[in-house]
């Protein structure tokens, strides 16, 4: 008899310092597919769902499709959104019957209005429905904050190994293939989790240059071979979450009686601690970044500036104005920024029409203390619906919709104004709005690291801006943590 495997995705990276709630509309705005919609929307993409679907074909499983839900990082997931999406998964189980196995695409850093640990809350509901005998395989982002309870409720747990995350499909494949071994009776896995007293680690997981993350992944591979482990994951953690267990973890999946699992997990935990102060990226001011860009950037080899402290991919609002103000003050030419979250300005551009000249108060709508709105005269040089598909290495083929958008030009600077928040990690964030990024001298993106996957190949240089403020800033001491376990590095002395 063909094994029926339930596939579901429920992802969120929750920044508890963000004022914007993550409601059901937030999921609809980015990615919310039910049943067979999952197959038509995500097959052939570089995503976990695509990896799960292909695994079903490879292992001759019948895929039972529930839901694939993903929202842009922001504040806590609302009760209504959690109940709707988790409830749909449970409903599918009720209607289709208890499956032979379950494959879940989770993030690992979800916080809801009711649950500090959204992932284990979901897993608990599923376990109540299917019992302990149904094997559950879970994929995580490497910025997961993982609890021991998640490890107890899942049978297989594997995380991305790359940042930028270009191995989403591969991670799902590893997870599904281990579940296949469970179903075949070849393995009886147990998950071991180790964490230390730190909020961030392994260079925040960066794998684009030699550094602690690449070194510890190599160490993990050696330990896996030495102790016969099934899977080893290193999670850098998501530090912009004011919850008790935030921070890096080492996760080992091994046979239940393998004593080497605890040895390996502890060794990796110690290495994460030892390398805690090693960083591969210098964080500089906007003024310094713009100065470097002016000297280095040119058509064919643009200089790329990333706004680390206002990264929508980490829960930032995407409308802080410090970097844009520095670009305008420097009177940069042949420059572009994508995108600035400002629905009000988009609406004003639409009302004025393409070609209109008008004054806008750009950005700074959510946290003016991080950069007040910029009053600037410019020209509406384009109006768009904001829909496109990613073509770069990360999430290849996935549809994106930043809502109604406008291209607003101030002097030599083209600014993509968006109605929805989104991290720019693909050149389509410029190309879809009539800008060929390779022809620009300077490109500015709201991102911290993911942008490197698609922009580094064309960049003459890269600068990352963080002036010590913002809800995705690396200056953790500027944030008001109240629920985090203490003492913890780097907030406390060790």
pLDDT at residue 152 in the model: 98
pLDDT at residue 469 in the model: 82
- Partners of 341 in the beta sheet? 418
Return the structure tokens found at 486. 């203490």
pLDDT at residue 369 in the model: 75
Low-confidence ranges of the chain (pLDDT < 70): none
pLDDT at residue 378 in the model: 98
Return the structure tokens found at 239. 């530090």
118 CB-near residues (< 8 Å, 6+ apart): 12, 14, 77, 82, 110, 111, 112
**CA separation for the pair 347, 358 (Å, rounded):** 12
pLDDT at residue 478 in the model: 93
pLDDT at residue 493 in the model: 94
pLDDT at residue 140 in the model: 98
Strand duo 442-445 + 335-341: pairing: parallel
**CA separation for the pair 424, 447 (Å, rounded):** 6
Which strand (E) or helix (H) includes residue 284?
A: strand 283-284
pLDDT at residue 184 in the model: 98
pLDDT at residue 45 in the model: 98
| Dihedral over alpha carbons 390, 396, 397, 398 (to 10 degrees) | -70
pLDDT at residue 349 in the model: 98
Q: Which domains does the chain have, with CATH numbers?
A: 4-274 (3.40.50.360), 283-476 (no CATH)
Check: CB of residue 415 under 8 Å from CB of residue 324: yes
Check: CB of residue 199 under 8 Å from CB of residue 239: yes
> Which DSSP string do the residues of 393-462 spell out, in sequence order?
SSSTT-EEE--SEEEEEETTEEEEEESS-----STHHHHTTT--GGG-SEEEES-SSTTHHHHGGG-SEE
């Amino acid at each position: 008899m063909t094994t029926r495997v339930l596939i579901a995705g429920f992802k969120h990276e929750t920044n508890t310092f963000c004022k914007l709630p993550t409601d059901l509309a937030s999921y609809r705005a980015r990615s919310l597919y039910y049943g067979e919609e999952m197959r038509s929307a995500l097959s052939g993409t570089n995503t976990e769902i695509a990896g799960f679907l292909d695994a079903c074909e490879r292992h001759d499983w019948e895929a039972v499709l529930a839901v694939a839900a993903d929202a842009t990082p922001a504040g806590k997931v609302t009760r209504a959104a959690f109940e709707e999406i988790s409830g749909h998964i449970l409903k599918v189980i009720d209607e289709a019957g208890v499956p032979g196995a379950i494959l879940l695409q989770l993030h690992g850093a979800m916080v809801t209005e009711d649950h500090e640990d959204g992932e284990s809350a979901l897993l608990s509901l599923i376990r109540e429905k299917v019992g302990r005998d149904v094997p559950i395989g879970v994929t995580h982002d490497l910025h997961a904050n993982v609890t021991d309870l998640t490890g107890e409720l899942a049978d297989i747990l594997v995380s991305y190994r790359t940042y930028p995350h270009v191995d989403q499909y591969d991670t799902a494949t590893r997870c599904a293939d281990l579940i296949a071994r469970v179903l075949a009776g070849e393995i009886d896995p147990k998950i071991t989790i180790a964490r230390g007293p730190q909020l961030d680690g392994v260079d925040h997981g960066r794998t684009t240059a030699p550094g602690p993350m690449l070194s510890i992944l190599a160490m993990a591979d050696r330990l896996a071979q030495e102790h016969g482990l099934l899977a080893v994951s290193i999670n850098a953690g998501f530090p912009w979450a004011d919850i008790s267990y935030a921070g890096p973890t080492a996760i080992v999946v091994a046979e239940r009686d393998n004593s080497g699992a605890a040895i390996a997990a502890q060794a990796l935990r110690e290495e994460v601690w030892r390398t805690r102060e090693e960083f591969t990226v210098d964080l500089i001011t906007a003024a310094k970044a713009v100065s470097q860009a002016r000297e280095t950037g040119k058509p064919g080899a643009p200089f790329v500036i990333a706004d680390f402290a206002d990264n929508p991919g980490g829960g930032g609002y995407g409308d802080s104005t410090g970097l844009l103000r520095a670009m305008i003050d420097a009177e940069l030419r042949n420059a572009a920024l994508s995108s600035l979250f400002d629905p009000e300005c988009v609406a004003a551009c639409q009302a004025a029409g393409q070609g209109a000249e008008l004054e806008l108060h750009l950005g700074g709508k959510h946290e003016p203390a991080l950069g007040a709105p910029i009053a600037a005269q410019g020209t509406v040089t384009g109006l768009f619906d904001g829909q496109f598909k990613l073509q770069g290495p990360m999430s290849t083929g996935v549809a994106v919709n930043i809502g109604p958008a406008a291209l607003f030009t101030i002097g030599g600077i083209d600014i993509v104004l968006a109605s929805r928040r989104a991290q720019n990690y693909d050149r389509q964030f410029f190309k879809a709005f009539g800008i060929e990024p390779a022809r620009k001298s300077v490109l500015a993106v709201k991102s911290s690291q993911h942008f490197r996957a698609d922009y580094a190949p064309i960049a003459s240089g890269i600068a990352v801006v963080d002036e010590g403020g913002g809800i995705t800033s690396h200056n953790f001491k500027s944030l008001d943590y109240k629920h985090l376990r203490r003492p913890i590095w780097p907030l406390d002395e060790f």
